[in-house]
Amino acid sequence: MSEDININFKMNINNDDQKYEVQFSEQGKRYYKNQKTFIKFKEPLMHELEYNQLTLICAEDEMQIIRNGHVRMKQKYKENEQTVGYYNNDNLFSEIIAYTNKYDYSNENIYLNYDIILDNNIIGNYQMEVNIKGVNEG
């Protein structure tokens, strides 16, 4: 059984001395399975009028992000650990190495801070905040 939710999503990206902020609100679904929380919603693409389907799978000590659509990605995040995932689109397939600096999860908020690593060098830092409210809460 799933519940309708409202998502406020914010991502701060620091890459090669450039800073970006991605912010949007979207409706989504939340359900629970195998002691994990699944949150699904559409993620608008930055430069196009298309969307990715984004799934956040949250457990107490780790999180997994799955993107499907124009961009396909799968990556686990576990605090103070390095993990390997993948990213691909029409032009590129790449392995992703991430080091999770901080992960915090509750029913109302998700906070994730991680570094992307290439050739043993940090090439970017990502800070994601997701605020979740039930549809009836506003």
pLDDT digits (tens, 9 = 90+) for 51-78: 899 999 999 999 999 999 988 999 999 9
Q: What is the mean pLDDT of residues 71-86?
A: 96
pLDDT 10s digits, 9-48: 999 999 978 999 999 999 999 999 999 999 999 998 866 6
The strand ranges marked E within 36-120 are 36-44, 51-58, 62-69, 72-78, 82-88, 93-105, 109-118
Is a pLDDT exceeding 70 seen at residue 137?
A: no
Q: What is the mean pLDDT of residues 99-128?
A: 95
**Taking Cα atoms as reference points, which of 43, 80, 35, 32 lies closest to residue 65?**
43
- Residue 135 three-state SS: helix
Dihedral, CA of residue 41, residue 44, residue 50 and residue 56, to nearest 10: -30
Domain residue spans in the chain? 2-137
| CATH code linked to domain 2-137 | 2.40.128.20
Residue 122, CB half-sphere, CA atoms under 13 Å: how many?
A: 13
pLDDT tier for residue 138 given thresholds of 50, 70 and 90 = very low
Work out the percent of the chain whose per-residue pLDDT is above 90: 80
Kindly report the pTM of this predicted structure.
0.91
Q: Would you give the end-to-end CA distance of the chain in angstroms?
A: 21
Residue with tokens 């039930």: 134
